[in-house]
Structure 1
C-alpha cells in the first residue's frame, strides 16, 4: 500500500512541478494522471501493489468528499445568497454534459444509424 501511494504521489508531484515550471494552464494533478496513464501503457498495466493500493483508495473515496462538504457548510450563507447562479450553473452544466456525452457516444458507436438506414 505504501509503495502504491508513493507512486501515485510521485506522479502527481511530477505533474505539479512541470505545470508550474512551464507555467502551463493545466493543473499539475491532471498532468500527473496523464504521466501515470502513459507509464501504465508502456508497462502493460498496473503492478499488483499499485492495483491493490488503488482499490483500497477507491473503497474509501467517500472520505475525500468531507472537505468539500465542510467548505459548503462554512460558506452556507454564500450558497443561500447566491442560490440562483448556482442552480443555473448546475442545470446548464448537467444539460451540456448530457448532450456532449450523447454526441460522443453516437460518434463512437459503429455506424448504427447509418446501417439501419441502409438496410431499410
Structure 2
C-alpha cells in the first residue's frame, strides 16, 4: 500500500512543481493526475500484465479503493462552505443556478459526443 501511495503523492508533487514553476493556470493535482494516467498508459504498453513482478503486491488499486471508501469525508469542507457562505449564495442564486444548469447540460452533451466517437471507433 505504501508504494501505491508514494506513486500518487509523487505524481501530485511533480504536478505541483510543474504548475508553480511554469505558472500554469491548471492546478498541480490535475497535472499530476494527467501524469499518472500517461504513466499507466505507458506501463500497459511497455510492460504486459503477465510479465509484471509479484502481482500480489498492494499497489495503486488498493490505495484507490481505500481513498474511494473515504470519499464522503471530502464533502465535509464543501458543506461547511455552504453553511458559512450561505448569505452570499442566497444573494447570487440566479447566476449560480444558471451556471450549474448550463454547465451540466454542456457536460452531458460533451460526454455523449465522446461516447459516440468511441463507439464508432471501437464498436
Counterpart-to-counterpart distance in 2, 1:4 and 1:104: 30
- Gap change, CA 1:48 and 1:2, over 3 Å in 2: closer
Relative contact order higher in (CA < 8 Å, ≥ 6 apart):
2
Q: TM (normalized to structure 2)?
A: 0.78
Alignment of 1:62-81 (within 5 A): 62-81=72-91
Structure 1 runs not aligned, ≥5 long: 112-120
- Gap change, CA 1:49 and 1:107, over 3 Å in 2: closer
Q: TM (normalized to structure 1)?
A: 0.80
Higher Cα Rg, which structure: 1
After TM superposition, the structure 1 stretch with the greater mean CA deviation from structure 2, 31-40 or 70-79, is 31-40
2:16 paired with 1:16:
yes
Give the structure 1 partner of residue 117 of structure 2.
107
RMSD: 2.1
2:61 paired with 1:55:
no
Give the structure 2 partner of residue 35 of structure 1.
35
Give the structure 1 partner of residue 98 of structure 2.
88
Alignment length (residue pairs) = 111
- Gap change, CA 1:96 and 1:14, over 3 Å in 2: same
Structure 2 runs not aligned, ≥5 long: 50-54
Counterpart-to-counterpart distance in 1, 2:38 and 2:87: 43
Counterpart-to-counterpart distance in 2, 1:54 and 1:27: 20
